[in-house]
Amino acid sequence: MHSVLISLVVFGCTFGGALFGMFLHSILPKEHLQPGTTDVVKLATGLVVTMTGLVLGMLVSSSLTFYNTQHREIQDLSAKLILTDRILSEYGPETREIRSNLHDVVAIAANRIWPEDRSLRTDLKPDHTFANVYGELQALPPKNEQQRTNRAEALGLMRAIYETRWLMFVESSGNAFSTPLLTILVSWLTVIFISFGLLAQRNATLTGTLIVCSLAVSAAVFIIVEMYDPFEGLFRMSATPMRSVLEQIGR
């Protein structure tokens, strides 16, 4: 809903700017629209268009990078959780309860990240339950060298998993779409659309074209905002990797 509202604001500002430009075209004296003046307006608009294109491209690239990073981290978590369970299985029957607890912890985490009730917000912040499982494994006394090796490997993987969970939380908290940057971008886009309306005679073709352009720009901003929230909205990341982990752990 947040991204839809932002894209609607962008559409309103851009198309509203175009209508304002058309209004100016109809009331300004003819000398204000002479070739020399309009040439300067076109050059100035071209400068703003270039800057806007660069910023918009940078934001699309940045949001896609953030989305892909979160996706890779989910895959990395899934692989490490399965590997941890396999190592605990090799340790022996002593780890049966730990593996069961690990399954429960992963199920809780998956439900917090992908709640069945879509009205609930995603919660990426790690809780104490994983640390409890880590403590249980730490307290497990190895009986031979193989168990000692398995225990050390499992502890190392669990530390890496916990670190990745916190990394995802910090990244998600610190990568919200910048409001000042959005304001600047929308103001530039509005200036561009004002110039579009100012420099052309009003007709149905012009109006239709500007509506389509406003929709395109709004869609781009919508995609950017959605990509910065990979566990919500239209581009919600799939829970399949974590569901696969739950099917494997404790077997």
Contact yes or no for 250/133 (Cβ under 8 A): no
Domain count of the fold of the chain: 1
195 C-beta neighbours (distance < 10 Å), count: 22
pLDDT in tens, the chain (251 residues): 588 899 999 999 999 999 999 888 888 888 777 888 888 888 998 999 999 999 999 888 988 999 999 999 999 999 999 999 999 999 888 989 999 999 998 998 888 888 877 777 788 888 888 888 989 999 888 889 999 999 999 999 999 999 998 888 888 876 566 778 888 999 999 999 999 988 888 888 889 999 999 999 999 999 998 888 888 878 888 888 888 888 888 77
Tokens of 143: 């009986």
Angle 240-248/35-91 helices, nearest 10 degrees?
A: 0
Contact yes or no for 63/223 (Cβ under 8 A): yes
CA distance 10 to 199: 21
pTM (two decimals): 0.82
Domain assignment of residue 172, given as a range? 2-248
